[in-house]
């Protein structure tokens, strides 16, 4: 089925990097393996490198997306480099504005900046930031960063969490007025806020029915954009930049792909569960406890068969292409290919990337 706003322009494909700290690899091995994969990204014809931010757990060693973006820029010449995302409650907004402007200059205008509110209890506890404040901190930080990027004269800002007094921020970004901005959206409220701002959204497909999730997110985004007074042409244009991350593994046959990816995927799922649910839910803020209990109940039902059928894109090139086609039909413009989850062997990641670039991507370039 083809839905309204289905993509009619070529899709864009990026690779996604978490630096997952599986126990059988040293941390330096994890980092240097994925830096090598960034070079493969450009070599094989992908469009983008995407970087995330996580702290204090083996789920991901991507503790500083700005540093990683600068490294990616130094190792490549063509691909764009996206943050998916910088988690604003963990940064001083002036510092992040300076850092991203500098990376944009170093990369000669190849940076794309996604912002996120954060949703991992261990991270908020580690930084001693109350998780229930993440939305308000996000809103203040966005306003300050935007002014820091664009104001040529000193500016001031007085908020609940941040104060700026007569400060001129330099350097300014290479791209004018600033790099393209996205928001990672994990809730209906985030989707609505992103659409109202006129930013494209970034989503992740981590569990459950991928197509249904994407349809739900798109409908919420389109409704909010219309409510904000955006034209149908504007909405269609924003959806061409809608980015969705998904775990992808390609092998010559379906059977081989599933056999080779199963252990890595199940390690990932357990790591994800430990990351998003506090060890002791009763110690979380009362406003957050219902969400954590509902999430724990949902994740307890995750199983390999459902993941293969509904969530991940594992299989032969033809099978994976069908799953990407379903994403295009819902209107997704950018696919963030997470191809190195759960400590997959480097040679198998390389083969998967090659097969995807050679036998899947060309179908969606026309």
Structure tokens that stand for 230 in this block: 């955006």
The residues of the chain scoring below 70 in pLDDT are 1-7
CA distance 189 to 172: 31
Q: How confident is the model at residue 113, as a pLDDT?
A: 98
CA distance 171 to 301: 49
Long-range contacts of 143-147 (CB under 8 A, 24+ apart): 144/93, 144/94, 144/97, 145/93, 145/96, 145/97, 145/100, 146/178
CA distance 226 to 234: 10
Phi, psi of 131 (to 5 degrees): -65, -30
Residue with the two structure tokens 């700290």: 21
Q: How confident is the model at residue 366, as a pLDDT?
A: 74
| Cβ–Cβ under 8 Å, residues 20 and 55 | no
CA distance 119 to 280: 16
Q: How confident is the model at residue 1, as a pLDDT?
A: 56
Structure tokens that stand for 172 in this block: 């300014």
Query: Topology of domain 12-364, per CATH?
Result: TIM Barrel (3.20.20)
């Amino acid at each position: 089925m083809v839905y309204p706003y289905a993509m009619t322009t070529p899709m864009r494909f990026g690779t996604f990097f978490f630096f997952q700290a599986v126990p059988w690899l040293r941390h330096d091995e994890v980092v240097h393996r994925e830096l090598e994969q960034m070079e493969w990204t450009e070599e094989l014809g992908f469009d983008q490198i995407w970087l995330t931010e996580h702290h204090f757990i083996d789920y991901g060693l991507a503790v500083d997306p700005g540093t990683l973006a600068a490294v990616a820029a130094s190792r490549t010449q063509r691909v764009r480099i996206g943050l998916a995302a910088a988690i604003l409650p963990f940064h001083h907004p002036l510092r992040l504005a300076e850092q991203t402007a500098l990376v944009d200059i170093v990369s000669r205008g190849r940076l794309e900046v996604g912002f996120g509110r954060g949703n991992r209890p261990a991270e908020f506890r580690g930084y001693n930031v109350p998780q229930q404040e993440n939305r308000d901190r996000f809103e203040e930080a966005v306003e300050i960063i935007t002014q820091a990027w664009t104001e040529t004269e000193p500016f001031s800002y007085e908020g609940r969490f941040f104060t700026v007094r007569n400060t001129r921020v330099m350097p300014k970004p290479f791209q004018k007025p600033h790099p393209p901005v996205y928001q990672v959206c994990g809730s209906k409220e985030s989707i609505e806020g992103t659409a109202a701002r006129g930013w494209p959204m970034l989503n992740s497909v981590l569990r459950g029915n991928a197509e249904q999730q994407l349809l739900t997110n798109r409908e919420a985004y389109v409704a909010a954009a219309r409510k904000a007074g955006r034209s149908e042409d504007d909405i269609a244009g924003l959806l061409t930049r809608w980015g969705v991350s998904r775990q992808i593994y390609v092998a010559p046959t379906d059977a081989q792909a599933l056999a080779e990816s199963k252990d890595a995927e199940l390690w990932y799922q357990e790591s994800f569960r430990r990351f998003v649910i506090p060890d002791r839910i009763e110690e979380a803020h009362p406003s957050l406890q219902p969400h954590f209990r509902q999430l724990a109940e949902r994740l307890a039902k995750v199983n390999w068969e459902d993941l293969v059928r509904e969530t991940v894109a594992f299989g032969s090139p033809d099978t994976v292409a069908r799953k990407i086609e379903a994403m295009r039909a819902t209107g997704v413009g950018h696919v963030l290919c997470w191809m190195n989850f759960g400590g997959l062997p480097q040679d198998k990641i390389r083969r998967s990337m090659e097969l995807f670039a050679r036998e899947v991507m060309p179908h969606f370039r026309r």
